[in-house]
């Protein structure tokens, strides 16, 4: 590791470079690249982490009082829904975590080999829960677990997230009528985010199978179909991002089930049927004012098999707060505060006979987690070579963001063709 | 690491060896040695750990309900005494822990070097608390902290203790009139152990300076003095263990202050004066029915500078429960459930200018910790070559246990001379 004074000097030089590029009105790509270098340097020295230099933090009595209040709200909700709690060790056998998180596995903290088994700090509470179910042959439980998890993330890069943070998990394991436990998990997220009084929120819902089905489609045909069948203009059809920017509720699921292209994918149809059923329960639970079916929602973990969802705050103040003072003015939405999904295969991975226990659950994050990064992560995990990003800023600037590099709308199709032929 | 099947086979062979020695009525030393080997083998394979094989365990909902009840009692007491809570990360910089625990440092879990700072799992909550005080320049706080700590202990050897366990810490930092915070800490241990309803208990109190003063004395002179000044018989004086087996209250402290030998040690006198003052407060608090000044009490950590104390259950059922089925029939008291002391130098170790903050605190252990082992540990840490153990069993058998090897009373002085001349 380089000397801290050296890094500090490099940070100053790099900061100067960024300021220079900005004053010269250099291209956004160029500035972004240099800002990214600056953030990486800062991460090395841990400059964004306050008093702690390794991506973690202390909590003083005032912060603990807030935490206690938040946890009591969450706990009250979990208990109201009839959940019991368990606890598992902070570390697991390394092999327990292996192969469960895809590309994110590189963020797992390993313990030093001091003799005995190889151990790693838990990355989430879901995998230990699945291991616990399999080990104790439990096939039916509603459990909550509020505990810390560990990720060797770059805290300066992801802004506002620490390497140690709390997750508040609620999961339902067992055989139930389709979508009933899934709907309850969403109701719980809805109740908690309402009660916490942290501003307006939305819960996006999607299904892993719809994503997988969609990404398996040949893009050229999708475009053709969009133009010929849907009567969309070529220009609109070219915005492939549009397809995943669809948002709605039950009616959207119904419409997509009619969609000729979609309906050819068995798994996409299974997902859409479940989404439709889910929304019928969500209507009964009266939570559809905040829950949207959003085809752009992706979650980065390998183990999801069905419904996925994410709760996020709609206020932009959060994003502004996450900016740092020198150089990094790129606004990133860090509003994601809860997430979860269905993972029907995970328990079976820990059972010697592979016996499956269907599970679904919500985790409420005590620290915010930048949604965009986790989406990009999902794509990287799934080997998806290109992501079209069409956010508020992109709409304003008249561009579609292709992964990280901005590109004009006119060049989009050509770029996609070029990139896909490379792959 | 050896193959599990190989270890399992070795365990069976070793178990057979132990049974054979017992049936042959072999010497206790010989059996103990072979049992110790057996336990080490079992520890390798983690046989005593139930479902987990690395010295940790899960908690199911029933166990969690018990834990919650216990914690609520403890929490209520801490809050009643006006403490605030803080939280610190589960890992610290390795250098933060270095040099704080003496010989116990070998039990610290290190994280793998995956780039960045070298980190270790916290070994207790006291050192992180001292680091927190120094880092935030806090000189006055009453804080509690209930959290897990980590020790790479041999779980089979220490029976009933896991490598991950909870500590419930209460500490008072700041300048106060002598012994007032110390007395409050003891009152808290008293209240908690009373409220938890886990059977009768005693709290032993001693002072690090008395121990240090005592161990600095030339044993030969102590013996001479015991015979000539105290009018003790030579036989009694020869039982050097006797000196540290003194138990009492304020009157014992007063008596020892008159003791010519003791009074020559400045630090022992300071300790005795504090003990005397402490007991005057303990009388006011009406807790002297359970608190004893016990000169045999030692605590294994480097950082204690004054009063030390330990709460333990007097019921022997605990010890019986800790026995395991095959071979290990040696009864070890695992009744120690709380401990603490004064550590006036620790915060200064983290302050760049070495500014000291006097501190005293109690930790209540959620898992029991074998007292005898931690005493032996203290002696090892402090370079004390010999420990005379005179427990219930030893009294019954008419022996004094010298460290681990039993020896007849008649041979004791010769053995001490031999051992001390070796050193």
| Domain spans, chain B | 4-45, 61-316+331-369, 374-421
pLDDT band at A384 (very low <50, low <70, confident <90, very high): low
More confident residue, A262 or A322: A262
* A6 and chain B in contact, CB less than 8 A: no
Percentages (nearest 5) of helix, strand, coil residues in chain A:
50, 20, 35
Residues of A in contact with B142 (CB under 8 A): none
* Annotated binding residue A126: yes
Q: Where does the pLDDT of residue A91 fall: very low under 50, low under 70, confident under 90, or very high at 90 and above?
A: very high
Q: Which residue has the higher pLDDT, B310 or B383?
A: B310
**Token pair for A172:** 């339902």
Contact B58, A87 (CB under 8 A): yes
* Cβ contacts of B109 on chain A, cutoff 8 Å: 111-112, 114
Q: Is A87 on the interface with B (CB under 8 A)?
A: yes
Backbone angles phi, psi at A87, to 5 degrees: -135, 145
pLDDT of the residue at B15: 82
User: For residue A124, is pLDDT > 80?
Assistant: yes
From B88, which residue of chain A is nearest by alpha-carbon distance? A58
pLDDT given for residue A413 in this prediction: 67
Q: Which residues of A touch B56 (CB under 8 A)?
A: 89, 91
Return phi, psi of residue A285, to 5°: -80, -5
Helix axes B266-284, B180-196, angle to 10 degrees: 50
* Selection from B420, B346, B343 nearest residue B387 by Cα: B420
Q: Where is B294: in which H helix or E strand?
A: strand B291-294
More confident residue, A244 or A404: A244
Nearest CA in chain A to B122: A90
Inspect the interface and report whether the beta carbons of B111 and A112 lie closer than 8 Å.
Answer: yes
SS3 A239: coil
Residues B108 and B152 sit within 8 Å (Cβ to Cβ): yes
- Residue A109 is given by DSSP the state P
Q: Using a CB–CB cutoff of 8 Å, tell me whether B85 touches chain A.
A: yes
Cβ contact (<8 Å) for B87 and A115? no
pLDDT at A28 > cutoff 60 = yes
pLDDT over threshold 80, residue B248 = yes
pLDDT of the residue at A380: 52
Q: Say yes or no: A136 contacts chain B, CB-CB below 8 A.
A: yes
pLDDT of residue A20: 86
Q: In terms of pLDDT, which residue wins out, A191 or A154? A: A191
User: What is the band of B400 on the pLDDT scale with cuts at 50, 70, 90?
Assistant: low
Of the pLDDT bands very low, low, confident and very high (cuts 50, 70, 90), residue B132 is: very high
Q: Does B421 touch chain A (CB under 8 A)?
A: no
Find, in chain A, the residue whose alpha carbon is nearest to that of B94: A54
Judged by CB atoms closer than 8 Å, whether chains meet at A90 and B152 is answered as no
Mean pLDDT rounded to a whole number for chain A: 80
**H or E element: which one contains B225?**
helix B219-228
pLDDT (0 to 100) of residue A329 = 35
* Mean pLDDT, residues B248-271 taken together: 89
Could you give the percent of chain B with pLDDT greater than 90? 45
Classified by CATH at the fold level, domain A61-316+331-369 comes out as BirA Bifunctional Protein; domain 2 (3.30.930)
Beta bridge partners of B35: none
* Mean pLDDT of all residues in B112-117: 89
Do A61-316+331-369 and A374-421 show the same overall fold? no
Which of A102-111, A364-373, B58-67 comes out lowest in average pLDDT? A364-373
The predicted-structure confidence for B197-219, as pLDDT tens digits, reads as follows 888 999 999 999 988 887 777 66
pLDDT at position A240, please?
A: 52
Q: In chain B, whose CA is at the least distance from the CA of A85?
A: B61
Q: What is the mean pLDDT of chain B?
A: 80
Question: Does B82 lie at the interface with A, CB-CB under 8 angstroms?
Answer: no
Binding-site positions of B for L-histidine read 124-126, 151, 167, 171, 299, 303-304
Question: What share of chain B in percent tops pLDDT 70?
Answer: 72
**Quick one: pLDDT at residue A388?**
58
- Strands A388-389 and B247-248, how do they pair? unpaired
Task: With cut-offs at 50, 70 and 90, classify the pLDDT of residue B260.
Answer: confident
Q: What is the pLDDT of residues B6-50, one digit of tens each?
A: 777 787 788 888 888 888 888 878 887 887 787 777 666 654 434
Contact A112 B117 (CB under 8 A): no
Q: Which position has the higher pLDDT, A244 or B141?
A: B141
Q: Which chain A residue is nearest to residue B63, measuring alpha carbons?
A: A86
The beta-strand segments (E) located in A94-241 are: 119-121, 141-150, 164-173, 201-207
pLDDT score of B394: 58
Is the confidence at residue B386, as pLDDT, over 90?
no
CA angle A169, A174, A175 (to 5 degrees): 140
Residue B321 has pLDDT above 50, yes or no: no
**Of A382, A422, A384, A388, nearest in space to A405 by CA:** A388
- A41 has a pLDDT exceeding 90: no
Cβ density class B133-144: b for 16+ within 10 Å, e for less: bbeeebeebbbb
- Chain pair A-B, CB pairs under 8 angstroms: 109
Q: Measured between alpha carbons, how far is residue B316 from residues A170, B199, B284, B329, B392 in Å? A: 41, 10, 31, 14, 11
Give the per-residue pLDDT at A105.
87
Q: What is the pLDDT of residues A137-182, one digit of tens each?
A: 999 999 999 999 999 987 654 456 789 999 999 999 999 999 999 9
Q: Mind telling me how many Å the CA of A41 is from chain B's nearest CA?
A: 12
Fold of B374-421: Rossmann fold (3.40.50)
Statement: residue A279 has pLDDT above 70: yes
A202 — phi, psi (to 5°)?
A: -135, 150
Residue B158 has pLDDT above 60, yes or no: no
**pLDDT of the residue at A73:** 95
Mean pLDDT of A302-320: 77
Report which of residues A353 and A421 the model is more confident about: A353
- Give the pLDDT of residue A351: 92
Please report the pLDDT score of residue A3 as a whole number.
Answer: 60
Question: Is the confidence at residue A324, as pLDDT, over 50?
Answer: no
Which pLDDT does position B243 carry in this prediction? 59
Nearest Cα neighbor of A416 from A274, A281, A220 is: A220
Determine whether the annotation assigns residue A351 to a binding site: no
Contact status, residue A153 vs residue A109, Cβ threshold 8 Å: no
User: H-helix or E-strand containing B360?
Assistant: strand B359-369
Give the pLDDT band of residue A4 (cuts 50, 70, 90). Answer: low
| pLDDT at residue B196 greater than cutoff 60 | yes
């Amino acid at each position: 590791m380089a000397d801290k004074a050296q890094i500090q000097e490099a940070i100053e030089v790099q900061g100067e470079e960024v300021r220079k590029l900005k004053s010269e009105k250099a291209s956004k790509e160029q500035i972004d690249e240099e800002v990214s270098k600056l953030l990486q340097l800062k991460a090395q020295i841990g400059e964004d982490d306050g008093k702690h230099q390794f991506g973690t933090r202390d909590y003083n009595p005032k912060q603990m009082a807030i935490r206690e209040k938040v946890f009591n709200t969450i706990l009250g909700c979990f208990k109201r829904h009839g959940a019991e709690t368990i606890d598992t060790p902070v570390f697991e056998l390394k092999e327990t975590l292996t192969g469960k998180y895809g590309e994110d596995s590189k963020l797992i903290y390993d313990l030093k080999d001091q003799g005995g088994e190889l151990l790693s700090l838990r990355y989430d509470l879901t995998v230990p829960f699945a291991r616990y179910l399999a080990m104790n042959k439990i096939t039916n439980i509603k459990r909550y677990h509020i505990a810390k998890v560990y990720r060797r993330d770059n805290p300066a890069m992801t802004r506002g997230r620490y390497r140690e943070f709390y997750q508040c998990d609620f999961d339902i394991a067992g055989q139930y009528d389709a979508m009933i436990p899934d709907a309850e998990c969403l109701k719980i997220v809805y109740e908690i985010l309402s009660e916490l009084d942290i501003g307006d929120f939305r819960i996006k819902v999607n299904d892993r199978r719809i994503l997988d089905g969609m990404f398996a489609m040949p893009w050229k045909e999708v475009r053709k179909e969009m133009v010929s069948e849907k009567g969309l203009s070529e220009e609109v059809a070219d915005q492939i991002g549009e397809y995943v920017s669809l948002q709605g509720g039950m009616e959207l699921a119904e419409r997509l089930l009619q969609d000729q292209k979609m309906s050819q994918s068995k798994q996409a149809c299974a997902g859409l049927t479940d989404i439709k059923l889910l929304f019928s329960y969500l209507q009964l639970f009266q939570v559809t004012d905040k829950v949207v079916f959003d085809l752009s929602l992706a979650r980065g973990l390998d183990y999801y098999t069905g419904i996925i969802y994410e709760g996020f705050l709609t206020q932009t103040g959060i994003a502004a707060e996450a900016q740092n003072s020198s150089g990094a003015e790129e606004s990133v939405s860090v509003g994601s505060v809860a997430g979860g999904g269905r993972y029907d295969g995970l328990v079976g991975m820990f059972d010697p006979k592979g016996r499956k226990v269907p599970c679904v659950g919500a985790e409420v994050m005590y620290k915010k987690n930048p949604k965009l990064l986790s989406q990009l992560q999902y794509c990287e995990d799934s080997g998806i070579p290109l992501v079209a990003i069409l956010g508020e800023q992109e709409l304003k600037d008249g561009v579609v963001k292709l992964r990280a590099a901005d590109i004009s709308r006119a060049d989009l199709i050509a770029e996609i063709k070029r990139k896909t032929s490379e792959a």
